[in-house]
Structure 1
Amino acid sequence: MPVVAQHQTIAIKPITVPSEGRDVELEVKVTAPVQGADLPVILFSHGNAWSMDGYEPLVDRWAAAGFVVVQPTHLDSRRFGLGFDDPRFATIWRVRIADLHGVLDHLGHVMEQAGLTGRVDQSRVALVGHSWGAQTVGALLGARVLDDAGNAGEDFSRAGIKAGVLIAATGTGDSLTPFAVEHLSFMRPDYSTMSTPTLVIAGEKDQSKMSTRGPDWFLDAYHLSPAPKWLMTVPEGEHTLGGIAGEAVAETTDPDPARVALVADAVSAYLFDALGVHTDPWATFRIAAESGRRATLQRKG
């Protein structure tokens, strides 16, 4: 269900981004259309253990639609070997947020290194994340992290970000499993302050091992945040929504290339609208998705 023209793409990696307080250098991959100008930007945050080399089924499709996509490798990437029991793991959620701020602070440098100077519209930047990456992105969109007493933590929101997309975003922390409470205490998002326009994407059959609730846990980012928001629920979708992290990867429990294309096109269409590039693709996508019963969409605001 393509919503825009498909373009040839090119990928450039690694590009080093200046950073502080990291054990290793912050590196990103940039994927972009071969041609075009005034290109909007997607900064993408990967799920736990992944890297800038994952999520090609999404990233390639976004670049083919006309976006420049920037993918950092966070410290929880399996290539660095920092497991749940590593004492440094407890603060990686903060480093992840700092990674995104760092890329945004040096976006001009990244575009220069990628050979894209003069072709990018840096006033049209959106943030997208999957799983842990969705919680990371949510922090820049205005969400907070609650402490054990239920008090909201620091404000990591980023001025100038016009829109975001949260894919399989962590729900509230009142239903965490004992393992999650012990190792992932930051999984207590407060969405009440997440006011940036956002599309929340959730799988109808996404059952997290970190929560005692069912798939409705992944709807909290929509229901508990202020408008304007959209929610897209994907029938039969599980946590990787058909295989968005890559073709035939071990984590995929619901392989379906058509479902991956659906998610990718939803993001492109929504962001074209939210960033003020085009409005027609989002309207066209919604009609096609709902008439074909490929997804259920809700809106507030």
Structure 2
Amino acid sequence: MREIFRSTALLLATLMLTTVGHAKDYNAGLANIDMTDPETQKPVRALVWYPTHATGPAVQRGPFRLDVVENAPAASGPHPLILLSHGNAGSPLGHRDTGQALAEAGFIVAAPLHAGDNFQDQSLLGTDLLLKSRPRSISALIDKIIHDRRFQADGQRIGFIGFSAGGFTGLALLGARPSLGQMGLHCKLHTDDAFCQYVKEDFGAPDPIDGLADPRIRAAVIMAPNTSLFNDADLQKIDKPMLLMAAEKDQILTAPYHAIRVSQLSPGVREFWIMENAQHFSFLAPFPEAMRAELGELAEDRPGFDRQASHQEINQKTTAFLEEFLY
């Protein structure tokens, strides 16, 4: 289960920004916020994109060039708050274009570097602790942001975006109960799910974890989620509005067993978009041509797939959906 991410995790540290063009109402501010993960007690740093009227030069963070204004004053609020959850062994900067686009449309976007499951540290992969840590760290980050006067967040208008394991995180926050045992059962029944080649352990009985839902989240955008952790009954209970996205040629989470399954079971799905000819990592922001060989499958696309154009569509759909349910 861990191997597919270990081989590419360090490469995420070398991602570079490719700006996606879009109309904007604001400039994007960028700030850090620090918190403690409530399950592991590890320090967590989150990136926060937010609307500002300030202008300034692009920001360089290591190898990243970001078209944002760092630590600028926020535009007068209150602003809707979106929580963004990256995939296994990932980074918030894998969705940097979406954070910027939403900030320019008037949203605050807060994205943690998940404890024990990021490009620097995968120590919690395959553990019950991670299943608790991911959603509970999102809830703790909500508390942190809405009480931080810098950002002027509206605690009554909260949404969520999650990719891959971030999609599992969102489904748990919406009320589904995860279980490693359920994942093991799924893979015994569906050996043709590509994901299951990485599941080597017998996790025992599918005992679901309760108490992860956060009722403050009103709407969610779920991208290529891992749903092997959930039973059908729990997915059928999710009725909060969802924009669900899938990669047609997903080579990691075979769509019929994951995203398509959610579309068939969950009454909350308001829109289901299958991104044609896309693979799993097509949901990561586009990379410069010079980086693609080094980044491997994170940057590889199928012949004829235009990641740049597809991300413009991802960001447009995401913004329109969240505006519909949070404005």
**TM-score, shorter chain, exceeding 0.5:** yes
In structure 2, the partner of 1:259 is: 310
**2:100 pairs with 60, 68, 80, which one?**
60
In structure 2, the partner of 1:128 is: 161
**Matches of residues 24-103 of structure 1 in structure 2 within 5 Å?**
24-35=42-53, 36=75, 37-75=77-115, 76-82=117-123, 84=125, 89-103=127-141
**2:248 pairs with 198, 204, 207, which one?**
204
Task: Specify the code of the residue in structure 1 equivalent to 2:49.
Answer: T
Q: Is the 8 A contact 1:57 1:246 kept in 2?
A: no
Indicate yes or no: 2:18 matched with 1:11. no
Task: Specify the code of the residue in structure 2 equivalent to 1:59.
Answer: G
Q: 1:246 to 1:46 in 2, by over 3 A?
A: farther
Query: Structure 2, unaligned stretches of length 5 or more?
Result: 1-19, 54-74, 183-204
Indicate yes or no: 2:211 matched with 1:160. no
Q: Deviations over 1:36-73 (max 9, x none)?
A: 43321110011111123432122111212221110111
In structure 2, the partner of 1:270 is: 321
Report SS of the residue matched to 1:79: coil
Q: CA RMSD in A?
A: 2.6
Task: Specify the code of the residue in structure 1 equivalent to 2:29.
Answer: I
Q: Deviations over 1:178-198 (max 9, x none)?
A: xxxxxxxx4767412212111
Q: Distance in 1 between matches of 2:122 and 2:241?
A: 35
Aligned residues: 250
Q: 1:187 to 1:226 in 2, by over 3 A?
A: closer
How much does 1:6 deviate? 4.5
Q: Distance in 2 between matches of 1:256 and 1:52?
A: 18
**2:142 pairs with 84, 104, 108, which one?**
104
Q: Deviations over 1:221-255 (max 9, x none)?
A: 22111245321111111112363376555413226
How much does 1:30 deviate? 0.6
Q: Is the 8 A contact 1:198 1:228 kept in 2?
A: yes
Q: 1:122 to 1:3 in 2, by over 3 A?
A: farther
Taking every aligned residue pair, what percent have the same amino acid on both sides? Answer: 23
Q: Is the 8 A contact 2:39 2:132 kept in 1?
A: no
Q: 1:235 to 1:191 in 2, by over 3 A?
A: same
In structure 1, the partner of 2:5 is: none
Q: Is the 8 A contact 1:56 1:245 kept in 2?
A: no
Q: Distance in 1 between matches of 2:286 and 2:134?
A: 18
**Matches of residues 149-298 of structure 1 in structure 2 within 5 Å?**
149=205, 152-171=208-227, 173=228, 186=229, 190-208=234-252, 214-217=254-257, 218-227=259-268, 229-241=270-282, 243-244=284-285, 248=292, 249-250=295-296, 251-254=298-301, 256-275=307-326, 277=327
Report SS of the residue matched to 2:47: strand
Task: Specify the code of the residue in structure 2 equivalent to 1:93.
Answer: L
In structure 2, the partner of 1:281 is: none
Q: 1:195 to 1:12 in 2, by over 3 A?
A: same
Query: Structure 1, unaligned stretches of length 5 or more?
Result: 174-185, 278-301
Q: Deviations over 1:111-159 (max 9, x none)?
A: 33xx22xx33221110110000010011111122254455644142112
Q: Deviations over 1:199-221 (max 9, x none)?
A: 1111111122xx5xx43232112
Report SS of the residue matched to 2:155: strand
Q: Is the 8 A contact 1:31 1:69 kept in 2?
A: yes
Q: Distance in 1 between matches of 2:25 and 2:132?
A: 36
How much does 1:2 deviate? 7.6
Task: Specify the code of the residue in structure 2 equivalent to 1:263.
Answer: I
